[in-house]
Amino acid sequence: MEKKEQLQQAYINHVLLNDEQPRSVFVFAKENELAEEEFYKYFGSFDSIEQSIWKVLLDTAITEVKAQEIWPQYSSREKVLSLLLL
């Protein structure tokens, strides 16, 4: 797993365990035994890491619905519903 993915997973774990964002990038970095600068190589803020997580989730969902055999036969409405119901 590359470092960016590791940071995303660590962030997800923190939010799931604590029901909130980390208090600061400094605290998040210390909890995950990395330098604060390492976080900033990949993300500018917690908002940017959240956006990247949502993008990965959406891309995965789109890939999964497009893999369905019936996908090419769906109307635009059915494609959107398929994505939303995934």
Q: Each residue of 20-54: pLDDT tens digit? A: 999 999 999 999 999 999 999 999 999 999 999 99
Q: Is the pLDDT assigned to residue 86 strictly greater than 80?
A: no
Rounded (5°) CA angle 82-84-85: 65
Helix H or strand E segment including 62: helix 46-66
Count CB-CB contacts under 10 A for residue 66. 12
pTM of the predicted model as reported, rounded to 2 decimal places: 0.82
